[in-house]
């Protein structure tokens, strides 16, 4: 397809999938149980962190996280102490990692003015890449086991940072379509990147948006260079089109 035709096609598919029906089978449904800013942030970060594998299992374990926090994540985090062992596992994310996440979130909300504030511009890295690096540096600034660092991806090491980019899309995009929350105003939607996974990468390759073989930050930049031309103000909206085509659209499956 030519650029104009591809843009029209992706705009159409974005409208098709960017609606509340999308929530029914997606982990973001868990975040929509909350209305308080801090609780949306906390649940959003935790659910996006475990968002790999089959979606029913992600949702099941996301509900388990909410239960562990007694349905009041902000209050739980502010009062958290590592006194009792936590029983939790999702793939390689275990109770040790969860304890660290709880402690780090407590530090962020107690000493750094909350999650939005720690996604700040970085002196050495531009744009959203730098904001993720800033967040990672603050998140890892408390005592933790080395194993837990793998759950906070690092775009400075060329990771596509899929789950953090998904979390940022949830927090920043504000288009009144009922999916994303738009509660963060310090980050512009023009900065956002799509969460690059096997589905979006496969569709991006099929549609001529991606030639690179590895699903890393360089591949993400390659895709975003075209998506930003299609919509400079809100390029990450095309995540709905690429993900939806890869997961739900039978005509586009191999």
Summarize pLDDT for 218-249 with one digit per residue, the tens: 999 999 999 999 999 999 999 999 999 988 76
Half-sphere exposure at residue 11, Cβ-oriented, CA atoms within 13 angstroms? 11
Question: At CA 155, angle to CA 61 and CA 214, rounded to 5?
Answer: 85
What pTM did the predictor assign? 0.95
CA distances from 43 to 16, 60, 89, 123 (A): 26, 14, 16, 29
Segment 8-61, tens digit of pLDDT = 999 999 999 999 988 888 999 999 999 999 999 999 999 999 999 899 999 999
Quickly list H helices, the chain.
3-17, 28-31, 37-49, 55-68, 73-78, 95-111, 115-118, 127-139, 162-172, 198-206, 217-230, 238-247
SS3 141: coil
Alpha carbons 118 and 30: distance in angstroms, whole number:
23
Residues in Cβ contact with 56 at an 8 Å cutoff, skipping those fewer than 6 apart = none
Mean pLDDT of the chain, nearest integer: 95
Q: What are 75's two structure tokens?
A: 């209050």
């Amino acid at each position: 397809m030519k650029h104009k035709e591809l843009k029209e096609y992706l705009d159409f598919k974005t409208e098709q999938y960017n609606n509340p029906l999308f929530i029914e089978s997606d982990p973001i449904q868990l975040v929509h149980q909350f209305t308080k800013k801090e609780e949306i942030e906390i649940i959003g970060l935790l659910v996006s962190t475990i968002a790999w594998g089959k979606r029913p299992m992600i949702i099941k374990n996301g509900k388990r996280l909410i239960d562990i926090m007694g349905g009041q994540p902000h209050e739980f985090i502010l009062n958290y102490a590592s006194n009792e062992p936590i029983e939790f596992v999702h793939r390689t994310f275990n109770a040790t990692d969860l304890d660290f996440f709880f402690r780090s979130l407590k530090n962020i909300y107690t000493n750094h003015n909350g999650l939005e504030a720690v996604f700040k511009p970085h002196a050495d890295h531009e744009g959203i890449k730098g904001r993720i690096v800033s967040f990672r540096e603050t998140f890892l600034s408390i005592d933790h086991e080395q194993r837990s660092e793998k759950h906070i991806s690092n775009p400075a090491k060329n990771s596509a940072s899929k789950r953090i980019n998904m979390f940022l899309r949830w927090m920043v995009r504000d288009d009144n379509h009922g999916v994303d929350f738009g509660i963060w105003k310090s980050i512009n939607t023009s900065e956002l990147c799509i969460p690059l996974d096997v589905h979006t990468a496969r569709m991006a390759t099929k549609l001529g948006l991606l030639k690179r073989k590895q699903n890393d930050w360089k591949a993400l930049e390659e895709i975003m260079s075209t998506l930003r031309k299609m919509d400079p103000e809100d390029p990450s909206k095309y995540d709905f089109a690429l993900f939806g085509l890869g997961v739900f659209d039978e005509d586009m499956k191999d």
